[in-house]
């Protein structure tokens, strides 16, 4: 399962893992959602429905990690190393366009990659 995120004319592609949370995110696509800055190393967005984290590994987030922060119900795209946190689950990792994550802004388009 791969997803593409388009923002400001640039595309970033993520490979999703086989976890329950990743499958639920994939099932909600396509989406048009607002992306927000958070801290100095991540962008976040909120999917319409919260994701179930059963069978989903905890994240040790590095640059390019796609994760889900269950306490807030947001998906996190890391453009800098982070590490671990309680409630942070790994959804996948970037396969192309990692350099565009930092500059994402406004409404992003998230689609399934065929």
Domains and CATH numbers, the chain: 2-113 (2.40.100.20)
Query: What three-state secondary structure class fits 26?
Result: helix
Residue 51: what are its φ and ψ, rounded to 5°?
Answer: -100, 140
pLDDT at 14: 98
User: What is the mean pLDDT of each successive set of 10 residues along the chain, which is 114 residues long?
Assistant: 98 98 98 97 98 97 98 98 97 98 98 93
pLDDT at 114: 80
Output the six-digit token pair for 44: 């976040």
The structure's pTM equals: 0.97
């Amino acid at each position: 399962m791969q997803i593409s995120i388009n923002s400001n004319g640039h595309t970033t592609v993520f490979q999703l893992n086989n976890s329950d949370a990743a499958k639920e995110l994939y099932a909600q696509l396509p989406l048009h959602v607002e992306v927000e800055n958070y801290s100095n190393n991540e962008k976040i967005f909120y999917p319409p429905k919260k994701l179930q984290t059963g069978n989903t590994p905890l994240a040790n987030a590095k640059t390019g990690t796609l994760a889900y922060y269950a306490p807030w119900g947001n998906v996190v795209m890391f453009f800098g190393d982070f590490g671990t946190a309680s409630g942070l689950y790994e959804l996948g990792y970037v396969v192309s366009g990692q350099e565009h994550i930092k500059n994402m802004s406004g409404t992003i388009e998230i689609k399934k990659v065929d």
